[in-house]
Structure 1
């Protein structure tokens, strides 16, 4: 027997289970773009006409905004295309500091710290805090799950958005957990269901047990009050100990952030390995995120997005679909895995890119089309998306 890795067999197993995925290059980040099949190691060939993209997390459509692009270009010229070193060495620039001040102001905290990605942020924060016990929502992002594992923390998973279940688990643990450090962790907006965590009730429970509360605002940052997230919408900035988010979704750049107290940021900048041992965020990304946050705080893009979301939700329900959640993420639940993938293919044939989401990403029997509109979609594009869904549904026998 050898000691290598039979990756072909692993891929074949995924193929047999219907779980193998392929890269799908897009020509540009925009409300419409041409797509290409996976070119493997070659150059993608964009032969098809443009498709409407209803599957990106560029919620405010700022990745193609000239103001954001200009900010990135200026930073590249004036500061450099890369930070060149860890922030603790020579990679800390005025561009980074401006971004962190803007985030802290938006999130209502003393300080903020930016990381190279959202994944690196969650892993870095959780391992640096090193809690004895983490109470984690059942549908938290994979980066939270991995962060708990890397931290070596005992992880208690509570039912999704179920504060009664969390309260019971906290009470049970409290009977023998004297002296332990506890961290309650939740996404604010859940990426596959589009629903919102009950942050006020979670804050009450964290206060009752003198635990810390950490909220991942990846899919909320930039979309609510003054460019903030659900924490800001609910007025909870002074009750959430760790506010985390990404710069790569509504803020159209790259990276992640933590906002909190002076002590938290100082601790993370000294102990979080994914910060200490990573090159600083590229200055163009930091400058782009700063400008995008300024635009998000102005509010016009946010208002346009929510108007589009309301029209899409109404149209989808008129078509007879179950649409979950209450946010800009619109999960169109189909149920059957094969039907979902057939529907996604029919949509693509009609010029709408909205991939199917299937197990294990979502539970069995809840396969779905995940629609994510952008503020830059036109009214006609929204109606085209709805028409395509209606036609595709009839073709696959769903209606």
Structure 2
């Protein structure tokens, strides 16, 4: 009897279920500060429940439902089309792509920008295309950075989270010939903290290494629509600025910004760019309009006001909060406690899911609270009330 070479996916799913790691999709009826959700219908249509407040999304400026952004996408859908139709190196390079890239380059204060079909594609494609001999990567970098390091086949050296002293030690100890790349997120999505970019640049410059910064959770929220690189005045010290269009810019896609030579190299060698259909033109138009709103209005001020109120209120209750940004991790510690708290908060009409290992280290399970600029003051107070009552109910306060 021949040996079976089939895939036993049912067993794999059972193993995930037993370890508390199996996840389901949760359909939503809309993207915004509130929505209706449904249990995973798998192959069927969803049946939505009551409306709930959403404090879990990355649409930080609340622009996904903004009429200006939607109108921009609608105009381009009518005039250009709903999809690019081909790789941008074939026939898929349209006016909306070029307009968005010029706006991104101006915001990021560099020569040029290049738009990819996703932030994930931008990271994996860029790191692999740079073909570094060695990559020094923060231990909490996003999965797309980790996969980019793997695809590059470079020697990867992981340094302690947000620790420029450890980075310097590992740079000093490295004897690999060839180009070196230091990669870090600017804002870390689970801890809500910010990388010490100036000190990281100092360490990299001592060894002639390049610095690449992932601004996914910072783009649009700082200095005229820029990120931490712009806030800290490091435009001329960070050789590769990467970000997404799918968070504060309320669209889809990713970008890389830097020198003319960098962009020319990537559009010729980044496989995730060369062999992918171009970003949908309406998505490019939506992102450009969202960037304009972010850079020309005080939209972000409303977000930071909500952040301050939530941080103050949750801390006064006795919760432990980490970070310094719009991402507010309410750290509980125990996996079961975090799940119980998330369920109790949800029962009070507020969506703030539990984040637990392996996404975060053991003993640091948390609820990740992320407000939007479009939440009202009343929404914020309802969120605080839900956390107060839920914390008492499950014995955490």
CA distance in 1, matches of 2:326, 2:394: 26
CA distance in 2, matches of 1:122, 1:292: 22
Name the residue aligned to 1:74: 75
SS at match of 1:268: helix
Aligned residues: CA RMSD: 0.6
The question of whether the paired residues in 2 share the 8 Å contact of 1:227 and 1:299 is answered with no
CA distance in 1, matches of 2:259, 2:297: 27
Shift of 1:300: 1.3
CA distance in 2, matches of 1:165, 1:143: 23
Shift of 1:134: 0.1
Q: What pairs up with 1:14-29 in 2 under 5 angstroms?
A: 14-29=16-31
1:49 matched to 2:50? The reply is yes
Shift of 1:21: 0.8
The question of whether the paired residues in 2 share the 8 Å contact of 1:51 and 1:353 is answered with yes
Q: What pairs up with 1:163-312 in 2 under 5 angstroms?
A: 163-173=164-174, 176-177=175-176, 179-312=177-310
Shift of 1:301: 0.9
Higher mean alpha-carbon deviation, 297-306 vs 368-377, is at 297-306
Name the residue aligned to 2:8: 6
The question of whether the paired residues in 2 share the 8 Å contact of 1:195 and 1:325 is answered with yes
SS at match of 1:223: coil
Shift of 1:30: 0.7
* 1:39 corresponds to which of 38, 41, 64: 41
CA offset digits 1:213-264 (Å, max 9, x no partner)? 0000000000000000000000000110000000000000000000000000
CA distance in 1, matches of 2:50, 2:296: 34
Shift of 1:326: 0.2
CA distance in 2, matches of 1:100, 1:42: 39
Name the residue aligned to 1:390: 388
Q: What pairs up with 1:102-121 in 2 under 5 angstroms?
A: 102-121=103-122
CA distance in 2, matches of 1:188, 1:353: 26
Q: TM-score when scaled to structure 1? A: 0.98
CA offset digits 1:31-88 (Å, max 9, x no partner)? 0001110000111101x22100000000000000000000000110000000000000
CA distance in 2, matches of 1:330, 1:283: 33
The question of whether the paired residues in 2 share the 8 Å contact of 1:138 and 1:158 is answered with yes
Name the residue aligned to 2:359: 361
SS at match of 2:64: coil
CA offset digits 1:155-192 (Å, max 9, x no partner)? 0000000111111000011xx33x42100000000000
CA distance in 2, matches of 1:316, 1:301: 23
Name the residue aligned to 2:32: 30
Gaps of 5+ in 1: none
SS at match of 1:249: coil
Q: What pairs up with 1:369-384 in 2 under 5 angstroms?
A: 369-384=367-382
CA distance in 2, matches of 1:126, 1:382: 39
Higher mean alpha-carbon deviation, 76-85 vs 342-351, is at 342-351
CA distance in 1, matches of 2:14, 2:316: 41
Structure 1 runs (4+) deviating above 2 angstroms are none
CA distance in 1, matches of 2:315, 2:69: 35
CA distance in 1, matches of 2:143, 2:50: 34
Q: What pairs up with 1:122-161 in 2 under 5 angstroms?
A: 122-161=123-162
Query: How many residues are aligned here?
Result: 395
CA offset digits 1:345-374 (Å, max 9, x no partner)? 111111001100000000000000000000
Name the residue aligned to 1:98: 99
SS at match of 1:40: coil
SS at match of 2:146: helix
Shift of 1:299: 3.5
CA distance in 1, matches of 2:326, 2:362: 23
CA distance in 2, matches of 1:316, 1:300: 25
CA offset digits 1:294-350 (Å, max 9, x no partner)? 000023111110011000000010110111000000000011101101111111111
